[in-house]
Amino acid sequence: MPREKVRYRCSQCGYESEQWMGKCPQCGEFGTFEKWKIKREEEKKEIPPLSSLKQIDLAPAERFSTGGEEMDRVLGGGVVKGAVILLGGEPGIGKSTLLLQVASKLCERGNVLYVSGEESPSQIKLRASRLNINEERLLLLSETDVEIIAEGINFLKPIAVIVDSIQTLHHPALESPPGTVSQVRECAFHLINLVKPLGIPLFIVGHITKEGTLAGPKTLEHMVDCVLYLEGDGVHPWRILRATKNRFGSTNEVAMFEMREEGMVEVKNPSLELLAERDKHAVGSAITAVMEGTRPLLHEVQALVTYSPFPQPRRMAQGVDYNRFIIMVAILEKKLGLKLYQQDVIVNVVGGMRIEEPAVDLALAMAILSSVKSKPLPPDLLIFGEVGLGGEIRSVPWAESRLVEGERLGFSKALIPRHNLKKITPPPTIKVVGVNNLQEAAGVIQEEW
Ligand SMILES: Nc1ncnc2c1ncn2[C@@H]1O[C@H](COP(=O)(O)OP(=O)(O)O)[C@@H](O)[C@H]1O
Ligand SMILES: [Mg+2]
């Protein structure tokens, strides 16, 4: 006979306990404990037959295209049947837009169910007409009760389901409001268990908090097969779609979109797009190559060094890590003798992009040097390399791919770490100079001036 055992669980962080408590010992919230029933089977369990690794036949995952080349690439070559994909991103970044476009393309294969707990069908229609979407087979369901949604999926057996968003759904068996940890977990669990055996791919939208993590439990990320993030700075039209988890492919793939009035437009040649408005003879501008997964992207890094009227000059960095930038200013003062203590130093990555990679260091240093000397860097020069505290230039991974991307966009010179140069065969049309430290790098630039 199954016996029900009652436990209590914090609706904020998921902490479990035998007794009800007023204050959660894990997250410190008050009044968040709720009843949680666990069924206990008392019969003895049988061990299922074990499989030897050697005897398992690998059938390739059954995939189909989402109709968008970039989306397919990030998913590892299309969507796998029964896969659950979580799409995270800040409000207004374009999650609903992107998934509505995916849904419309998937309609070529059959009915697609678009469940929205946030918008009414007429609101969705409004967006759809702006995006020029008008599919007969796109079926809208404005519902938040996960059991009713499950009924809908069971009845329709669509070829794909989109749920926008998981934070708006609720399971009637739980007392806590939508968006709480237990609701998000239960609703996701319910839907995942339903679509897996039916082989229906499920796209779930998840909002992210101010801290940049998915609102709700971290367990949500463990429950799904793919976690995608849509990022952008909200000012520029560029959006980056990135996989941070993928059970069916690499997490290295990145896609770039431009958010336009008519929707998300795939950017096939991101480097070209990012350098489109560049002034080739601008002082304080350097071009670097940054890896986004396995794909090199060219970025423009800008620096402005100007006399400061303040006793404490300003240091501002957009798009690069502030601490790395401050360290770079100190290294430049120490190693190249630049006098920056009475100067404001401002750096920026064009297009609202963010560069996390240390490979940007050398370009940042040369952009600052260019601004200090009021001389533009050579317009066809590509720069990358990590700079150490001693001013030494350290090698970076994927040097050859970066050079090839530079060559593709017409760059004919490159300043790179000497250690990288030893191990690669650079493209023949690029004159590559390897340097060991900042002084050598500055020397190479000064020869050009
Ligand atoms: N009429 C419009 N023309 C152009 N862009 C619009 C229009 N209406 C909304 N948008 C853009 O669409 C964005 C909302 O996208 P949406 O897909 O709803 O984001 P999310 O689902 O991530 O919250 C808004 O931030 C806005 O920039
Ligand atoms: Mg939305």
**Closest-lying ligand 1 atom to the alpha carbon of residue 230:** 22
* Residue 274, pLDDT score: 87
The pLDDT tens digits for 13-51 are 778 888 888 898 988 888 888 887 666 656 678 888 898
The per-residue pLDDT for 250 is 81
User: Is residue 3 predicted with pLDDT exceeding 70?
Assistant: no
| pLDDT-derived band at 216, boundaries 50, 70, 90 | low
What integer pLDDT is reported at residue 214 of this predicted model?
65
pLDDT above 70 coverage of the chain, percent: 96
The DSSP call for residue 352 is G
pLDDT tens-digit readout, 70-87: 999 999 999 999 999 999
| Residue 229, C-beta contacts closer than 8 angstroms, at least 6 positions apart | 87, 88, 89, 208, 241, 242, 244
Specify the pLDDT at position 302: 98
| 183 in Cβ contact with 201 (< 8 Å) | no
Query: What is the per-residue pLDDT for 352?
Result: 87
What is the pLDDT, as a whole number, of residue 252?
74
**Which of 212, 214, 213, 233 has its CA nearest to residue 204?**
214
Q: Give the pLDDT confidence score for residue 328 in this predicted structure.
A: 97
Residue nearest to atom 14 of ligand 1 (CA): 92
* Stretch 289-301: mean pLDDT: 91
Task: Return the closest-CA partner of residue 150 out of 204, 194, 85, 198.
Answer: 194
Q: Is the pLDDT of residue 4 over 70?
A: no
CATH topology of domain 273-448: Ribosomal Protein S5; domain 2 (3.30.230)
Given pLDDT bands bounded at 50, 70 and 90, which one contains residue 97?
Answer: very high
At 295 the pLDDT is 84
Q: What single string gives the DSSP state of each residue in 262-326?
A: TEEEE-S-HHHHHTTT--TT-BTEEEEEEEETTEEEEEEEEEEEEE--SSS--EEEESS-HHHHH
d(CA 66, CA 106): 6
Count the residues in the chain. Answer: 449
Separation of CA 92 and ligand 2 centre (Å) = 7
What pLDDT, on the 0 to 100 scale, is given for residue 448? 82
Least distant ligand from the CA of 165 = 2
Q: Assess whether pLDDT exceeds 90 at residue 330.
A: yes
Whether the pLDDT of residue 317 is over 80: the answer is yes
DSSP for 374-406, written as a single string? T-BPPTTEEE--EE-TTSBEEP-TTHHHHHHHH
Q: 94: CA distance to ligand 2 center in Å?
A: 7
* pLDDT on residue 7: 82
CA–CA distance from 33 to each of 17, 21, 28, 171, 185 (Å)? 9, 6, 11, 17, 16
Instruction: Judge whether 228 and 74 are in contact, CB under 8 Å.
Output: yes
Atom number in ligand 1 closest to CA 205:
21
- Show the tokens assigned to 437: 């430290």
Stretch 203-210: mean pLDDT, rounded?
86
Q: How confident is the model at residue 289 (pLDDT cuts 50, 70, 90)?
A: very high
Q: Which ligand is nearest to the CA of 261?
A: 1
- The span from the CA of 84 to the CA of 196, in Å, is 8
Q: Whose CA is nearest to atom 27 of ligand 1?
A: 92
| Ligand 1 binding residues, C-beta < 6 A | 89, 91-97, 130, 261
pLDDT by residue (tens digit) across 359-417?
999 999 999 999 999 999 999 999 999 999 999 999 999 999 999 999 999 999 999 99
How far, in Å, is the centroid of ligand 1 from the Cα of 260?
9
Of the CATH numbers 3.30.1780.10, 3.40.50.300, 3.40.50.2020, 3.40.630.30, which one belongs to the domain with range 62-268? Answer: 3.40.50.300
User: Is the pLDDT at 213 greater than 70, yes or no?
Assistant: no
Distance from Cα 89 to the centre of ligand 2, integer Å: 9
Beta-carbon neighbours within 5 Å of ion ligand 2: 96
Residue 208 is classified by DSSP as: B
pLDDT at 56 over 90: no
| Residue 55 confidence (pLDDT) | 86
Are the C-beta atoms of residues 146 and 171 closer than 8 Å to each other? yes
Structure tokens at 100: 């509505």
- pLDDT band at 107, cuts 50/70/90? very high
- What is the spatial distance between Cα 296 and Cα 405, in angstroms, rounded to a whole number? 6
Question: Ligand 2 mean position to 240 CA, how many Å?
Answer: 17
| Average confidence score pLDDT of the chain | 91
Parse the chain into domains and list their residue ranges: 3-40, 62-268, 273-448
State mean pLDDT over 326-339: 96
What mean pLDDT comes out for the span 163-176?
92
Residues 6+ apart with CB under 8 A from 441: 362, 365, 366, 385, 393, 415, 435
pLDDT-derived band at 94 (thresholds 50, 70, 90) equals: very high
Tell me how far the alpha carbon of residue 105 lies from the centroid of ligand 1, in angstroms: 19
